[in-house]
Amino acid sequence: MRSFAEAYWRTLLIAGAIISIVVLVYAWEQFSIIQKERSTEGVSGASTAQKNIDRDQLQATLDEFTARAARFKALGASKEAISDPSR
C-alpha cells in the first residue's frame, strides 16, 4: 500500500510539473505574439483601434447616461409598500 501511495504522489508531482511547464510555455508564446503585434503597430504610426469621436456622438452617449441615472433615481424614490407575506 505504501508503494502505491508513493507512486501516486510522484505521479501527481510529475503531472503538476508538466502542467506548469506547459502553461508557462503557452503564456510566453501569447506574450511574444502580443509584443510582435505592438511592435508592428508602432511602426505604422497611429493605432488602428483608436477612432475619432465626434461631439454629437459623445453628447448623445452622455445624455443616455444622464437619462439612465434619472430613471434609477426615480425607481429608488418610488418605493412600493409591500406587505409582509408571513403575517
- Let me know if 50 is exposed, middle or buried by CB neighbors in 10 A (0-12, 13-18, 19+): exposed
- Asked if residue 56 belongs to a domain, the reply is no
Specify if 25 maps to a domain.
yes
Would you say residue 64 lies in a domain?
Answer: no
Query: For residue 30, is it within any domain?
Result: yes
Residue 23 lies in a domain: yes
pLDDT digits (tens, 9 = 90+) for 36-86: 988 886 655 555 555 777 899 899 999 999 999 999 998 887 777 778 788
Please report whether residue 75 resides in a domain. Answer: no
Distance in angstroms (rounded) separating the CA atoms of residues 68 and 62: 10
Q: Which domain holds residue 23?
A: 1-41
Q: How many structural domains does the chain have?
A: 1
What are the grid coordinates assigned to 44, written together?
505604422
Query: Is 15 within a domain?
Result: yes
Give the pLDDT confidence of 21-48 residue by residue, as tens digits. 999 999 999 999 999 988 886 655 555 5
